Amino acid sequence: MHISNTTAEILYDNINTTERLVKIVEGLWAGTIRFVEDPDNGRLACQIGEQLVRFHEDDEIEYEVDIVHLKVEDIKKYPVFDIAYRILAEIMYSKEYDRCRSLLGLNSLDI
């Protein structure tokens, strides 16, 4: 099964997802979230505070942006909410999701 998620579908899906995405976009603008090169594999990663969030390939879901294969300098070429959705997906499955949620002010939102 192949699932496709567009930004519009995600934003209109439910208000909680939209609120989460807005918090992530605010983190990007404020510099709380930065894109860095993963020191272990040279791929793009997301740094939230001191926490490194790695992006993973997923054969089941087709994302708007294939962020796994981007370089840090290429990230600005893509819509911010597409990037935010991908960050949210990784945070939700991160081993350190509680810490990431706290740093981004997502604790009050059910993830």
What residue ranges do the domains of the chain occupy?
Answer: 3-104
> If pLDDT is split at 50, 70 and 90, which confidence band does 76 have?
confident
| pLDDT > 70 in the chain, percent | 66
Residues 6+ apart with CB under 8 A from 22: none
48 strand-pairing partners: 33, 51
More confident residue, 63 or 31: 31
| pLDDT > 90 in the chain, percent | 5
pLDDT beyond 50 at 4: no
More confident residue, 95 or 74: 74
pLDDT beyond 50 at 59: yes
Please compute Rg for the chain using Cα positions: 13
Residue 1: exposure state from Cβ atoms within 10 A (0-12, 13-18, ≥19): exposed
Degrees to nearest 5, angle at CA 72 with 90 and 40: 65
pLDDT beyond 70 at 101: no
